[in-house]
């Protein structure tokens, strides 16, 4: 089964998100959501949020009632259960069911409440494990998924189909975007549930603090990954909300990648760890390579601004500040 992805992006002549729009950011405390709040606020929009304690987005009835009362002009669906290889492998049921419930609840609730504009954020893991590189949006559903995050990927694929279906059946101006690997202020540094970049920052920092002679990392270090600073992602999301109104998902990335081994060396340099790096090849590598084709996004005028090493240093400094504040 393949998707039909005809032609270039559909760019609007006038902004699709009016000045000073009221925007509900679902998942505002997370890595992506907090960056979106910063960007929307900086551009003069009114941001609406709700804590998880006051609104469980898995509850369809309460979510619809909230959206009817809040009456936002737009919704950005950044709420999700996320995690790295270990978390996805250990809790596939929760990664599938929680994400499906959140998506069904928010998108259906937005439509019922008459929300004009919605952006659903998926993930680059929706693409086949052995997709062509760089990965075009047309690769969706053309091959087998990476087994270690299959449940999460299937939930995100369902979100793409859901937003597309609302467009086709109801004429809703709902769109979807697929970010690459993200990092930055607000990231998760829990070693059990974090993604690779923040996990490496913590591992090297603690090894330097403890005077360790070596750090042992999972896999061979050979897989290639693309990393985008979350503030660049937020800029891309605002661009799409302003200019894009098409059926097809749009990839969001930086356009280049590096090996996990190279990433580890950059992080070792930033954290000033002087010991050795060893690789446990009995542990899984995951997908061999995952670089997104971002030509659709660049055609709309997007250019990433934050270099990887600068972004790592900024993220490391943010984490250290958070740790100090908690002491």
Q: Are strands 258-259 and 224-225 parallel, antiparallel or unpaired?
A: antiparallel
Phi-psi region of 12 (alpha: psi -120 to 50; beta: other; left: phi over 0): beta
The three-class DSSP label of residue 50 is coil
Residues 6+ apart with CB under 8 A from 296: 8, 9, 137, 250, 251
- What tens digit of pLDDT does each residue of 248-278 get? 999 999 999 999 999 999 999 999 999 999 9
Residue 252: strand pairing partners:
179
- Predicted confidence at residue 11, as pLDDT, reads 53
Residue 63 has pLDDT above 90, yes or no: yes
179 annotated binding-site participant: yes
Annotated catalytic residue within 152, 166, 174, 244: 152
Mean pLDDT of the chain: 93
- What tens digit of pLDDT does each residue of 204-216 get? 999 999 999 999 9
82-85 — which CB contacts under 8 Å span 24+ positions? 82/30, 82/152, 82/188, 82/195, 83/188, 83/193, 83/194, 83/195, 84/193, 84/194, 84/195, 84/196, 84/199, 85/148, 85/149, 85/218, 85/284, 85/286
Residue 86 has pLDDT above 60, yes or no: yes
- Predicted confidence at residue 19, as pLDDT, reads 92
50 annotated binding-site participant: no
Active site residue 244: no
122 annotated binding-site participant: yes
Measured between alpha carbons, how far apart are the two ends of the chain, in Å? 53
Residues 6+ apart with CB under 8 A from 267: 197, 200, 201, 204, 312, 316
32 annotated binding-site participant: yes
Residue 277: strand pairing partners:
215
156 annotated binding-site participant: yes
- Predicted confidence at residue 28, as pLDDT, reads 97
Measured distance CA(237)–CA(300) in Å, rounded = 11
CATH number of 22-186+227-254+291-307: 3.40.50.720
Tokens 């990231």: give the residue: 187
- Predicted confidence at residue 324, as pLDDT, reads 85
Asked if 95 and 151 count as a contact pair (C-beta separation under 8 A), the reply is yes
91 annotated binding-site participant: no
225 annotated binding-site participant: yes
- Predicted confidence at residue 115, as pLDDT, reads 97
Task: Look at the chain and count its residues.
Answer: 327
Which residue, among 294, 249, 301, 304, has the nearest Cα to 134 in the 3D structure? 294
Count Cα neighbours of 276 within 13 Å in the Cβ-side half-sphere: 5
62 annotated binding-site participant: no
121 annotated binding-site participant: yes
- For the chain, what is the radius of gyration of the CA atoms? 19
- Mean pLDDT across the stretch 291-301? 97
CA separation, residue 76 to residues 141, 254, 280, 301 (Å): 24, 21, 39, 20
- Mean pLDDT across the stretch 175-192? 94
Residue 6 has pLDDT above 60, yes or no: no
33 annotated binding-site participant: yes
> In the structure, what pLDDT confidence band is assigned to residue 10 with cuts at 50, 70 and 90?
low
Residue 13 has pLDDT above 50, yes or no: no
- Predicted confidence at residue 178, as pLDDT, reads 98
- pTM attached to this predicted model: 0.91
């Amino acid at each position: 089964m393949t998707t039909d992805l005809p032609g270039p992006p559909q760019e609007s002549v006038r902004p699709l998100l009016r000045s000073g729009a009221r925007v509900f950011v679902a998942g505002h405390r997370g890595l992506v959501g907090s960056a979106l709040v910063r960007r929307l606020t900086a551009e003069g929009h009114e941001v609406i949020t709700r804590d998880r304690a006051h609104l469980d987005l898995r509850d369809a009835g309460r979510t619809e009632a909230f959206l009817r009362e809040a009456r936002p002009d737009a919704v950005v669906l950044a709420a999700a259960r996320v995690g790295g290889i270990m978390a996805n492998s250990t809790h596939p049921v929760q990664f599938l069911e929680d994400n499906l419930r959140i998506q069904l609840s928010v998108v259906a609730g937005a439509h019922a409440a008459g929300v004009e504009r919605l952006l659903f954020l998926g993930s680059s893991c929706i693409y086949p494990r052995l997709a062509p590189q760089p990965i075009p949006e047309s690769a969706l559903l053309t091959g087998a998924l990476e087994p270690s995050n299959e449940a999460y990927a299937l939930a995100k694929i369902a979100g793409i189909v859901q937003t597309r279906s609302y467009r086709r059946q109801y004429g809703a101006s709902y769109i979807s975007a697929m970010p690459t690997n993200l990092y930055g202020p607000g990231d998760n540094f829990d070693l059990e549930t974090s993604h690779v970049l923040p996990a490496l920052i913590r591992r090297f920092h603690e090894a330097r603090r403890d005077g360790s002679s070596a750090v042992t990392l999972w896999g061979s270090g050979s897989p290639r990954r693309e990393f985008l600073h979350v503030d660049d992602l937020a800029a891309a999301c605002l661009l799409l909300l302003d200019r894009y109104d098409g059926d097809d998902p749009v990839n969001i990335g930086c356009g280049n990648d590096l090996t996990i081994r190279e990433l580890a060396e950059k992080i070792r340099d930033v954290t000033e760890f002087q010991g050795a790096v060893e690789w446990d090849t009995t542990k899984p590598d995951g997908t061999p390579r995952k670089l997104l084709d971002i030509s659709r996004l660049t055609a709309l005028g997007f250019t990433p601004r934050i270099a990887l090493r600068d972004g790592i240093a900024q993220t490391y400094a943010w984490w250290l500040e958070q740790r100090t504040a908690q002491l």
